[in-house]
Amino acid sequence: MAAAEAASVADWLGPGGLFFGGMALCVLVVVVLYRSACRHEAALKVLWRTAIEQPRIRRWRHRLAPQLTFLQARFSPASYLGLQLTVGACSVLVAAWLFGGLAEDVATGEPLTRVDVEIANWLHARASPSC
């Protein structure tokens, strides 16, 4: 029964509605977690310190010290080329991935690109003559 209800919700909302609904749910979860972390900051700090002082974790921290230092520098907003470079590189990678997906859709003639061509043809047929 639940699968049939989920399918009817998916049909009613469509893929765009599900995407934006999922994004809104993710934002809501992040906000709730952030507010909870702010309310319980002291307890979370104690829990974190207790966890990282475990013998097994301490060994891994010592063994992976150079890598952890590198990651800490990459995500630090105060270090030279830290957070800005990391966010910029990730943005370029995401944009390249999206461009590759669109290029593949154009090359294989996906339905979205065929609709785009139809809309372009319709607009060109109704365009006013140039001077």
Q: What is the mean pLDDT of the chain?
A: 85
Please state the rounded mean pLDDT for residues 1-7: 57
* Distance between CA atoms of residues 120 and 18, nearest Å: 28
Does residue 10 or residue 22 have the better pLDDT?
22
Residue 80 has pLDDT above 80, yes or no: no
Res 3: pLDDT: 57
Q: Tell me if the pTM is above 0.75.
A: no
DSSP string, 67-124: HHHHHHHHT-SSSTTSHHHHHHHHHHHHHHHHHHHHHHHHHHT-HHHHHHHHHHHHHH
Give residue 7's pLDDT band: very low, low, confident or very high (50, 70, 90). low
